[in-house]
Amino acid sequence: MTSGNIQLLSETLAKAKAENRAALIAYLPAGFPTVDGGIAAIKAVFDGGADVVEVGLPHSDPVLDGPVIQTADDIALRGGVKIADVMRTVKEAHEATGKPVLVMTYWNPIDRYGVERFTEELAAAGGAGCILPDLPVQESAVWREHADKHGLATVFVVAPSSKDARLATITAAGSGFVYAASLMGVTGTRESVGEQAADLVRRTRATSGLPVCVGLGVSNATQAKEVAAFADGVIVGSAFVQRILDADGDEAAGLDAVRELAGELAAGVRRVS
């Protein structure tokens, strides 16, 4: 039986901590702008300095995602992206870099595909785990059983509205890290990430020894530095997607742009002063 790379994910986050910095976690959807183009973009982001990449599984009803990622998902879905393409994206990105690659997906596609089949294929592809933003913890036992069996992390999302008792329930069930949504609402770039996020990280850490990584709203090096001061990882998605959209079909320009942004953000998470 193949085993996934939860260990690699944990080691990568621990290494960043040992270097007295936050990890840089990037998000890009599979199949955007094409399957091959998406794989190239992930390699470019790793090349620029990302520690971990989340591969989005494009979905027709992305409730957590703002307009930028919805646009990218739409392009990927119109291009005919399938779960097999997501697995190939994970496999090729991990094999090319040796770095941890997760899948971020809504529950419905996994449920329809089959939990056993999905976890087995993700582990075989070298995946490190799954971020499941809409899977309620109390309904996650079957998923977690298969994920554990295949060496995959189960990353749950916590929000500023989560009460302390709820945080404890979520973190007890999760593995790899905890995804802390910095604010209420959907993904996208914001002017400030702010105090809500710092408070959520503090409250989440009080319930668990898992690393706490903050996403939603981080788009530049200044914000990455701000979040890195209190979080174990900084998650950036929409800003990378926007760079590819801005390249307007020029693949080389898009790759240069995401590599450059990754470099700026990587410098941001390393600035501790």
pLDDT score at 196: 83
Residue among 36, 47, 54, 164 flagged as catalytic = 54
Whole-number percent of the chain with pLDDT over 70: 93
189-237: pLDDT as tens digits: 555 566 788 999 999 999 999 999 999 788 899 989 999 999 999 999 9
Is 246 a known active-site residue? Answer: no
Is 85 a known active-site residue? Answer: no
Write a three-state SS string for the chain. Answer: CCCCCHHHHHHHHHHHHHCCCCEEEEEEECCCCCHHHHHHHHHHHHHHCCCEEEEECCCCCCCCCCHHHHHHHHHHHHCCCCHHHHHHHHHHHHHHHCCCEEEECCHHHHHHHCHHHHHHHHHHCCCCEEECCCCCHHHCHHHHHHHHHCCCEEECEECCCCCHHHHHHHHHHCCCCEEEECCCCCCCECCCCHHHHHHHHHHHHCCCCCCEEEECECCCHHHHHHHHCCCCEEEECHHHHHHHHHCCCCHHHHHHHHHHHHHHHHHHHHCCC
Res. 120: pLDDT tops 60 = yes
pLDDT score at 188: 53
Q: For residue 140, what pLDDT band results from cuts at 50, 70 and 90? A: very high
Is residue 94 within 8 A of residue 105, CB to CB? The reply is no
Res. 93: pLDDT tops 70 = yes
- Mean pLDDT across the chain: 93
pLDDT score at 189: 53
Q: For residue 3, what pLDDT band results from cuts at 50, 70 and 90? A: confident
Residue among 51, 65, 226, 232 flagged as catalytic = 65
pLDDT score at 218: 87
pTM score above 0.85: yes
Cis peptide leading into 109, omega within 30 of 0? no
